[in-house]
Amino acid sequence: MFRIGFFSLTTCLCLFLASVSLAAQSAQPAWINNPYANFDSQTHVVAVGAGDSRQAAEMDALHGIASVFHLNIQAVERLTTLYRGAITDGATAWTQQTDLGTAIKISVEMENLIGARIRQYWDNGSGTHFVLAVLYKPTAMDIYSQRIRANLDIIRNLTYMMPATQRNTFDGFSRYQFAAIFADMSFTYGQILTVLGRPWREPLRTGDWYLQRSREILAEIPIGINVRNDRGQRIQGAFARTLADLGFRSGGTNPRFVLDVNVNAWRENPLPGTEFAWVEISANLIDTNTRAVLVPYSFNLRSQPRSTIQVAENLAFNAAVRRIDREYGNLVSEYLAQLVPRR
């Protein structure tokens, strides 16, 4: 009985000590109420985040860090996605200095969009998670300065180093589109550096400046439109209107880019007094220098039945115009969006 009692007492004592240890481990840490308890505010930016999951708590903490720099975290996240995509798609080929490779690599592999690290985590056991996000100012200043230098180098090679003969082309347009992404990211980095106490040495342009230049390039790219077998220039008018809405101008003397359109119409009368009209559109946007088809586009459609072929054909051509109005602008926009600058 004594032996049994001894072991029971020992077991209870061990369980008690274990429970004391666990209680000590689960006690609320000091950093939740005082984020700077273990960090110097002169050299660190610190924020506590809370949420119903660790991921939610981390995002809340990053919101806190971003607010210090007056940044909208959702907007910067979207920009970061574009920025990484531009790098992945090959725009970094436009940086010529090898020492900038490290800065680019850091930008792609950075832990999060503002370079803060999650240093502490605590679960209160009641469904609320807490994290401590920490940004070390001296390291951040060096990293963001590197990123700005890398981005400005890419922008310079994309735009200022472009041959004059290449400017008013689709490639010239895409260069300025890419430059806008790198400019916006650099502007954001500049905001961060200003708050950290090391402003960038010269004004940084936003992406809007480069986007405006890209729109000016579109306005200087004439596109010839050749349409065969049109009716009252309706198909030509639809394509010209769509290109104008995108910012292009039509015509010009010996334009490099030509939209070559063929219209084919035929009738179908399965029953006496019932006429259907078919219209087939084939349109290729061609670079006459290389003979490459840049944007292929085609469709066919049939009119509603009518008593005469003239009425049915009129309906079919009207439907074709509406379809061009609805589809072609988006197709060309998608082509422009996926252009990658080439050397």
Which one, of 237, 302, 297, lies nearest residue 266 by Cα? 302
- Same domain for 182 and 51: yes
- Mean pLDDT for 139-167 is 87
**Same structural domain, 246 and 205:** no
Residue 56: per-residue pLDDT: 92
Let me know: does 120 contact 303? Beta carbons within 8 Å: no
- The structure tokens 């077991």 sit at 11
Last residue of a domain, one of 200, 217, 234: 217
Q: How many domains does the chain have?
A: 2
122/253 same-domain check: no
Same domain, 170 and 291: no
Alpha-carbon distance of 198 to 205, in angstroms, equals 18
Report d(CA 25, CA 147) in Å as an integer.
40
Tell me whether residue 261 is in a domain: yes
pLDDT of residue 24: 35
Are 204 and 155 within 8 A, CB to CB? no
Residues 192 and 253 in one domain: no
Task: State pLDDT tens for residues 89-138.
Answer: 655 555 554 344 544 444 444 445 567 888 999 999 889 999 999 989 99
Q: Is residue 143 assigned to a domain?
A: yes
Cβ-proximal residues to 131 (8 Å cutoff; 6+ apart), any chain: 48, 49, 54, 57, 58, 60, 61, 118, 120, 121, 122
Q: Tell me whether residue 20 is in a domain.
A: no
Q: Do residues 67 and 180 both lie within one domain?
A: yes
pLDDT at 4 over 50: no
Q: Sorting pLDDT into bands at 50, 70 and 90, what band is 332?
A: very high
Do 277 and 156 sit in the same domain of this protein?
no
Provide the domain limits for residue 280. Answer: 221-337
Give 3-state DSSP helix, strand, coil % of the chain, rounded to 5. 55, 20, 25
CA 334 to chain centre: 13
Decide if pLDDT at 81 tops 60: yes
Task: Give the range among 88-97, 151-160, 302-311, 324-333 with minimum mean pLDDT.
Answer: 88-97
**pLDDT: is 9 or 144 the higher one?**
144
301 forms beta bridges with 279
Cβ 194 vs Cβ 224: under 8 Å: no
Residue 1 within any structural domain of the chain:
no
Q: Give the integer Cα–Cα distance in Å for 26 and 19.
A: 10
pTM score > 0.95 for this model? no
Q: Answer yes or no: do 194 and 162 share one domain.
A: yes
Phi first, then psi, for residue 147 (nearest 5°) are: -65, -40
* Within a domain: 327: yes
Could you tell me if 170 and 273 lie in one domain? no
Last residue of some domain: 173, 190, 217? 217
Alpha-helical regions (H) of the chain: 2-26, 54-68, 73-88, 101-109, 137-155, 164-167, 170-196, 207-219, 234-245, 309-337
In terms of Cβ atoms closer than 10 Å to its own Cβ (0-12, 13-18, 19+), residue 92 is buried
Q: Same domain for 186 and 96?
A: yes
Give 335's pLDDT tier (boundaries 50, 70, 90).
very high
Alpha carbon distances (Å) from 22 to 18, 26, 49, 112 = 6, 6, 23, 32
Q: Which residues contact 160 (CB under 8 A, 6 or more apart)?
A: none
How many Cα neighbours within 13 Å face the side chain of 296?
A: 5
47 and 84 in a single domain? The answer is yes
CATH number at residue 237: 3.30.160.150
Q: Structure tokens of 261?
A: 């359109």
Per-residue burial over 24-53, b = 16 or more CB atoms within 10 Å of its CB, e = otherwise: eeeeeeebbeebeeebeeeebbbbbbebee
**Least confident interval from 9-13, 306-310, 326-330:** 9-13
The reply to whether 226 and 177 lie within a common domain is: no
Q: Which of 217, 249, 269 is the last residue of a domain?
A: 217
Residue 22 confidence (pLDDT) above 50: no
